Amino acid sequence: MDTQRLAASAERNRGPILEVLRRVLPPGGLVLEIASGTGQHVSHFARALPLLRWQPSDPDAESRESVRAWVEGLGNVLAPVELNVLKRPWPVARADAVVCINMIHIAPWACAEALVSGAGELVGAGGVLFLYGPFRRFGRHTSLSNEAFDASLRGSDPDWGVRDLEAVVEIARAAGFGLEEVVEMPANNLSVVMRKGG
C-alpha cells in the first residue's frame, strides 16, 4: 500500500518557505517540525539544508507513515514522532529551532498557546520559532480570499480560524520569543520569524 500522501499546496509553498528558512535557521543543530502532515516540507528542507538534523512530528498515525515514505533514505531526518502540542511532556527534549507550517488556523487557540510555550521550553537563547500560514494583521484580514477561508474554517469548527498575528506574537513574547521578521509570502500567507531572547 502506498502511504505517501501529496498536498498540492505543500508543493507550491515549499520553495518560498525554504528561502526564508535558509536565512533564519542556524547552520547546524536540530530542527523540530510540528504538524509535519504529508512530509513533503521536511523532505524538501532536509535535502536543501543537509547540515541540519530534522525531527518531524505529527499526532496523526497515517501522516507519520506518509512522512516516513517521503524521507526514506535521508540520513539527516529522524523517524517521525507522535506529538500533540497539548500533551506534555513532548517527546523531544531540546531543539535549536521549531518550525510549524499551516497548523494554528486549523486547531483551537489553545494549540497555538501550547505550541509557543512548548517551543520556549525546548529552544535556548538565539533559537528560532518559525510559523507559516494566513494571519490577520491589526484586526483585519490581509485579503478577501483569507476572509472567505476564515469563514469556511469557522463554519467547520468554531474553535478554528485565521489568527491575529499580534495575538500570536504576544503569547510568543510570554514564552521568551521576540518578533524578528514578518515576510509576505505567495497566496496571502506570512512567514513569521521569532527568536528566543538571552
CATH of the domain at 59: 3.40.50.150
Q: Within a domain: residue 111?
A: yes
> How many angstroms separate the Cα of 180 from the Cα of each of 50, 94, 146?
24, 21, 24
- Closest to 17 (Cα-Cα) out of 195, 170, 186: 186
Q: Within a domain: residue 64?
A: yes
**Is the pLDDT score of 55 beyond 90?**
yes
Q: Within a domain: residue 79?
A: yes
Q: What is the pTM of this model?
A: 0.96
Q: Within a domain: residue 2?
A: no
What length is written for the chain? 198
Q: Within a domain: residue 94?
A: yes
pLDDT digit string, tens, across residues 143-198: 999 999 999 999 999 999 999 999 999 999 999 999 999 999 999 999 999 999 86
Number of domains, the chain: 1
Q: What is the largest CA-CA distance in the chain?
A: 48
**Is the pLDDT score of 1 beyond 60?**
no
- Average pLDDT, integer, range 43-66: 97
pLDDT digit string, tens, across residues 90-131: 999 999 999 999 999 999 999 999 999 999 999 999 999 999
Domain that holds residue 87: 8-128+135-192
Q: Within a domain: residue 27?
A: yes
Q: Within a domain: residue 197?
A: no
Q: Distance between CA atoms of 57 and 37, rounded to whole angstroms? A: 8
Q: Within a domain: residue 198?
A: no
Supply 110's cell numbers. 489553545
pLDDT score, position 3:
86
**Beta-carbon contacts of residue 169 (< 8 Å; ≥ 6 apart):** 179, 192, 194
Q: Per the omega criterion (within 30 degrees of 0), is the bond before 89 cis? A: yes
pLDDT score, position 198:
67
